[in-house]
Structure 1
Amino acid sequence: MTTPLTLTPARRADGTPVLNAAGEIDMSNSADLASAVTSALGDSGGPLIVDLTEVEYLDSAGLSILLSYADRIEVIATPLLGPVLTICGLTDLTTVRGLDPADPADPAS
């Protein structure tokens, strides 16, 4: 059974691609995340903004996808996901916003 996950591509006014994720990301739907990231990146050189503010759960399969695209994405998350994004090293590889309540989650939106 696939865990519910909604992936919605969008663009900012400046043309930057955004992928909004809502639900839970795990091994049952991580391929959907990979496909959505690939599609949202298209032929652009990046960055793609991956908005995880509505993600309630993220396991190692989802982290693996994010890590594989770390050089082409920026992430917006919440303090809930902060520990896992930090421990896996994603915060060292790309920009991750929203983990610190004093840091605006998305200053460019």
Structure 2
Amino acid sequence: MTTPLTLTPGRRPDGTALLTVSGEIDMSNSDAFAEALAKALDATAEPLVLDLSAVEYLDSAGLTVLFNHADRIELIAAPLLIPVLTVSGLSEITRVQGTDGPAAG
């Protein structure tokens, strides 16, 4: 059974490419997540803002997808995900912003 995940491409008011993600990212839907992320990255030469503020769960399969594109993404994450992004080391190789400003780390 695939875990529900919503992926919504768009643009920020300044024109920056944006992919908004909500739900849970796990092994059951990481391929769909990877495909949507690759498609959004193909549509821009600039870094992509990946809004994970509505993501409630992120497992190692989801982290792998993020690591594979760390050089081209910037993350917005809810406080729940900040420790996962920090402990994994992802916050050291890509910009991570909390929903209330830059994340510590």
Query: TM-score, structure 2 length as denominator?
Result: 0.91
Equivalent AA in structure 2 for residue 59 of structure 1 = D
Alpha-carbon separation, structure 2, partners of 1:46 and 1:71: 11
Q: Deviations over 1:16-46 (max 9, x none)?
A: 1100000000000001111111111115223
Please say which of residues 79-88 and 37-46 is displaced more in the overlay.
Answer: 37-46
Alpha-carbon RMSD across the aligned residues, in angstroms, is 1.6
Secondary structure of 1:71's partner? Answer: helix
Report the alpha carbon displacement of residue 79 of structure 1 after superposing the two structures with TM: 1.1
Secondary structure of 2:44's partner? Answer: coil
Equivalent AA in structure 1 for residue 48 of structure 2 = L
- Structure 2 partner of 1:65: 65
- Structure 2 partner of 1:83: 83
- Structure 2 partner of 1:95: 95
Alpha-carbon separation, structure 1, partners of 2:102 and 2:70: 21
- Structure 2 partner of 1:24: 24
Alpha-carbon separation, structure 1, partners of 2:21 and 2:43: 21
Segments of 4+ moved more than 6 angstroms: none
Q: Alignment length, in residue pairs?
A: 103
Contact 2:96 2:102 in 1 (8 A): no
Percent identity reads 60
Secondary structure of 1:45's partner? Answer: coil
Secondary structure of 1:79's partner? Answer: coil
For structure 2, list consecutive stretches of 5 or more residues without a partner in the other structure. Answer: none
For structure 1, list consecutive stretches of 5 or more residues without a partner in the other structure. Answer: none
